[in-house]
Structure 1
């Protein structure tokens, strides 16, 4: 997965009833758009992540089509 600053990542719930959550990429720490990424979740929490299989890049949310 290659992302850019401002892209939005969607994380699906791992169990039934767990809501999806989203994070905006603040900084790409890897080379050429690769992980790790510094992100801010909708609740304001910031962290560095290596996205797993439950993560989807949502380019429509970041304004790219």
Structure 2
């Protein structure tokens, strides 16, 4: 997984009833764009460091965003 600042990180729910989470990558920890990432979550406006798993994918900032 490789990302750029401004890309969206989408974490799909892995358990029934959990919401999908979407955040904006605000900082890269490695110059090659590999994890971990600093992410500002759109639902809480808080930032956290994320080590994304298999439920995660990256969307470019200009891609249409579809809430589930």
Q: Which TM bucket (shorter chain)?
A: 0.7 to 0.9
How many residue pairs get aligned? The number is 63
Unaligned runs of 5+ in 2: 64-68
Structure (1 or 2) with the greater helix fraction: 1
Match of 1:63 in 2: 62
TM-score, normalising length from structure 2?
0.82
TM-score, normalising length from structure 1?
0.86
Unaligned runs of 5+ in 1: none
Separation in 2, partners of 1:26, 1:2: 14
